[in-house]
Amino acid sequence: MNKELRKLPLSDEPFRKIIEGNYLYSDKTEYIHKMIDSYTCCFLSRPRRFGKTLLIKTIEELFRGNRELFDGLWIGKKNRCAFERHPVLRFNMTFAEIKTGQDLVDRIKRELIKAAKNEDVTISSPSFDEMLNELLESLYKKYGVGAVILIDEYDAPVTMHISDRNLAGDNRDVLHGFYTALKTHVDYIRFAFVTGITRFAMTDLDFGANNFMDISLDPEFSGICGFPVSELESLFGDRFDEMLDKLKSKGQIRQSADREALKAEILKWYDGYNWLGSEHVLNPYSILYFFKDRNLRGYWPLSGHPSHLMALVRERPLEFVQPSLDSLFSMNVRRVDLGTLEAVPLLFHGGYLTIDEEELKETGEKGAEGEPILEEAFTFRNPNQEVRAHYKSSIFKGAFGLRNEYFGIFAKNLRSALLEKDSEKMGETLRDLLHTIVHMHHKSDESFYHSMFQASFVAAGLEARSEEGGSRGDADMAIFLDGKVRVVIEVKYVKAEEKIGQGGDGDKDRAARELASALDRAENAIREKRYAGSFRLAASEIICLALAVRGRDEVAARFLAPDGAGEPPSS
């Protein structure tokens, strides 16, 4: 009854410290054994903070022959593993100073030279392909066994520079060459394991002889990272009673709740991740901080976002804040193309979406006998309550560097301006937003501001739809308030010409006229298409809003009386 609780591994503790320091640990060694027994080269994609680094450090200790660390674990029983010692080369590809593809080549060479020095062997070849071959051959001669290569954050040189497509592409090509070299020298490798979030640099490496086996969506390995739902009570059950008392005192769970009710709440908030296997896993970062803070709230979505997602949200805010979850073919999900960078596959690999259903879907092509060709396809959903509650606002704030307190005020002002039909307040609210994020984006066209405004409405908790159809044409967007009020919005943009003067009154007057003209055009579009009349049957109240943007951050707003907005323009 008084046994000491195992400590929570909150700070990326290495495997050795977890085992020797009485930390809580979910045994992944059966997965590891299956992986190293079946394959020579493996690739695993998992979201950030899901335990990829811990997995790599566990494999490292196993191949260093440290049998004592595995006593009591699955792989340490019944002579399941010989714990033969191998030379281990572990790399982390997070190189912040990379500015050109050649910088990455030079950095990889330095890492190989450093690895050789640590193993007391010498390499002198000019290319990293030859250096790698020389290093692996030297280690094989020295130890008589193949080396183990472990690479964490393998895609960082691409994802960290995603806003510069040329540099990202150059780095992808360099990494592709490096991982191809690993395949080429497989005779000197006992096991190679590569992890990351995306598959940018793994294209074409999972085919052919000596291939990298992508186990990311292999049902046999669905539980290789994270805390399995089946282990929730065995891992955390000795904390349940205290958690119940704390949550009841905060009013976060009903007073009559028992341990089963607590378990249901935990699953609702932090479960939902599944990589096609039968084993669902809890978000490890969130569940650990839940038991530390004793608070049912979002942790993982508020802990940061991958840099490549933030860069893409700044470019295409609506696509990432409000993604389309329609069915996608499996190949489009498994193989991320740097040229297209579709939102849903990136959000799935990033942990913001999970697979909801699998189905066979017609590709639109015919087989030899004229029958339709079917391929595996997936539909998606948010995995759990914490992602559902925080994803849209947190990823929007993260992309544009918005403070929580500022965004809270923005969301409140936005909603009140809509309900009060306050043109001045609406203009000020959107103008303040653009002033805040103007340094974060470089686009200046109508489609971008349409996307930006709709994404901001969605992130603020409003239901906003794009290109909502009316009887005489599609409105730029429609917002639904409390299921009854429909706000129909038209956006017009005018490019700010280069200033001729020195920013005097003449320039200001011209800017004001251009902005007013754009606002008039937005209003005329609403009147001409009779949006108020078109949408009246679908809502108890119609609000028509004309928005105009000039340059990068000048905004004007005008609410129209619904009756007038439904009339054709006067001559």
- Lookup: tokens for 259: 């341990």
Query: Chain-centre distance of CA 360, in angstroms?
Result: 26
Strand partners, 381: 354
* Helices and strands (H, E) in the chain, number of each type: 22, 15
Distance (Å, whole) CA 132 – CA 128: 6
478: three-class secondary structure by DSSP: strand
Residue 147, amino acid: A
Q: Could you report the per-residue pLDDT of 46-95, keeping only the tens digit for each?
A: 999 999 999 999 999 999 999 999 999 999 998 899 999 999 999 999 98
Assess contact for 11 and 159: CB atoms under 8 A: no
pLDDT value, residue 538: 59
Q: Could you report the per-residue pLDDT of 7-18, keeping only the tens digit for each?
A: 999 988 899 999
Measured CA distances, 424 to 416, 421, 431, 508, 563 (Å)? 12, 9, 10, 19, 21
Assess contact for 223 and 281: CB atoms under 8 A: yes
Q: What is the CA radius of gyration of the chain?
A: 28
pLDDT value, residue 11: 86
**Whether domain 27-221 has CATH 3.40.50:** yes
Closest to 237 measured CA to CA, from 260, 256, 255: 260
The one-digit pLDDT tens for each residue of the chain (571 residues) are 345 789 999 988 899 999 999 999 999 999 999 999 999 999 999 999 999 999 999 999 999 999 999 999 999 998 899 999 999 999 999 987 889 999 999 999 999 999 999 999 999 999 989 999 999 999 999 999 999 999 999 989 999 999 898 999 999 889 888 988 888 888 999 999 999 998 776 665 554 445 789 999 999 999 999 999 999 999 999 999 999 999 999 999 999 999 999 999 999 999 999 899 888 999 999 999 999 999 999 999 989 898 899 999 998 999 999 998 888 888 888 877 777 889 999 999 999 999 999 999 988 888 888 889 999 999 999 999 999 999 999 999 998 989 989 999 999 999 999 989 999 999 999 999 998 886 666 667 888 899 999 999 999 999 998 866 555 557 788 888 777 778 889 999 998 875 545 555 667 888 899 999 999 999 998 888 776 665 665 556 788 999 999 988 899 999 987 655 544 444 3
Assess contact for 397 and 410: CB atoms under 8 A: no
Q: H helices within 230-342, ranges in order?
A: 232-236, 240-250, 259-270, 284-293, 307-315, 317-321, 330-334
Pairing of strands 541-550, 485-494: parallel
pLDDT value, residue 437: 83
- Lookup: tokens for 226: 């994270």
Domain residue extents for the chain? 27-221, 307-387, 402-565
Residue 317, amino acid: P
pLDDT value, residue 559: 94
Assess contact for 426 and 559: CB atoms under 8 A: yes
Specify the long-range contacts of residues 249-257, CB closer than 8 Å, at least 24 apart.
250/295, 252/295, 252/296, 253/296
pLDDT value, residue 252: 95
pLDDT value, residue 278: 85
3-state SS of 117-171 is HHCCCCCCCCCHHHHHHHHHHHHHHHHCCCEEEEEECCCHHHHCCCCCHHHHHHH
Measured CA distances, 101 to 111, 169, 311, 399, 519 (Å)? 16, 9, 20, 26, 46
pLDDT value, residue 339: 78
- Lookup: tokens for 8: 């929570």
